[in-house]
């Protein structure tokens, strides 16, 4: 399986149930979004969500926000267990960063749990740097790293 097997498209409301179930699968209770939280982010007009499908089944998605100061924020990136290590995460991040660039955003940031070493390694390979540690960010007990990256769009 390779990244070329996936089709990317924008989120539509009929995707909600599949995205919520995938988020529940990808993250433990307390870190996974509640229905209301995910619904809020998916409907936020300042953001966008890119959905990845293979054979008409959703395999992953990325939820982004943008603020007025032209900064992007990765809310979540979720990839189905069966499609991890296929390049899908890279495909989703590339698409999101490309859209941020086209919208003249100058940087992007995200939060990741300090104990999520595979994700930290993935983001660092993509050029993200640690900006700060956020104490007790997840479940009021697990610290997070805030990572950031400069984009070309703001130039």
Instruction: Identify the CA nearest to 109 among candidates 64, 45, 44, 48.
Output: 64
At residue 10, the pLDDT reads 97
The pLDDT of residue 3: 65
Q: What's the confidence (pLDDT) of residue 77? A: 97
The domain made up of 3-150 is a member of CATH 3.40.630.30: yes
- 């990741």: which residue's tokens? 112
Sketch the domain layout of the chain as residue ranges: 3-150
pLDDT at 145: 97
Q: What is the pLDDT of residue 68?
A: 87
What pLDDT score was predicted for residue 2?
65
Structure tokens belonging to residue 135: 């104490």
Query: What residue ranges in the chain does DSSP mark as E strands?
Result: 7-10, 47-54, 57-66, 71-79, 107-113, 129-138, 142-150
- What pLDDT is recorded for position 1? 63
Q: What is the mean pLDDT of each run of 10 residues along the chain (155 residues)?
A: 84 97 93 95 95 95 94 97 92 97 95 95 97 92 95 76
């Amino acid at each position: 399986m390779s990244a070329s097997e996936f089709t990317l498209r924008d989120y539509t409301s009929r995707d909600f149930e599949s995205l919520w179930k995938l988020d529940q699968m990808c993250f433990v209770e307390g870190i996974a979004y509640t229905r209301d939280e995910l619904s809020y982010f998916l409907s936020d007009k300042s953001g966008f969500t890119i959905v990845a499908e293979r054979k008409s089944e959703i395999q992953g998605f990325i939820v982004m926000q943008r603020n007025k100061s032209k900064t992007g924020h990765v809310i979540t990136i979720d990839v189905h267990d069966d499609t991890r290590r296929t390049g899908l995460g890279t495909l989703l991040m590339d698409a999101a960063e490309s859209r941020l660039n086209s919208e003249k955003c100058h940087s992007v940031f995200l939060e990741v749990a300090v104990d999520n070493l595979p994700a930290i390694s993935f983001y660092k390979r993509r050029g993200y740097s640690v900006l700060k540690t956020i104490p007790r960010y997840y479940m009021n007990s697990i610290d997070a790293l805030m990572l950031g990256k400069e984009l070309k769009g703001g130039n």
